[in-house]
Amino acid sequence: MDRTTLVANTSNMPVAAREASIYTGITLSEYLRDMGYHVAMMADSTSRWAEALREISGRLAEMPAGEYLCSLLHAA
């Protein structure tokens, strides 16, 4: 575990933190890849991420796109 980066959050953290954690992990993985390291990125529970996206979409009064993802994801 000498060269391990861990981005963790719990279900009792704010929705924005849960939603941002996957993007933080992706950004770290891309940075380390660009530095020449071998990278393996794993997400433990993408259902929590999708749940956070749905909740944010509901708070913004947006129509969800599909069953799990909000329309913010399709804008990227």
Residue 76 confidence (pLDDT) = 47
Residue 1 confidence (pLDDT) = 64
Enumerate long-range contacts of 18-21, CB under 8 Å, 24 or more apart. 18/48, 18/49, 18/51, 18/52, 19/49, 19/52, 19/53, 19/56, 21/49
The domain ranges of the chain are 15-75
Residue 56 confidence (pLDDT) = 72
pLDDT tens for the chain, 76 residues long, are 678 888 888 778 887 777 788 888 889 999 999 999 999 988 777 676 677 767 777 777 665 555 555 455 555 4
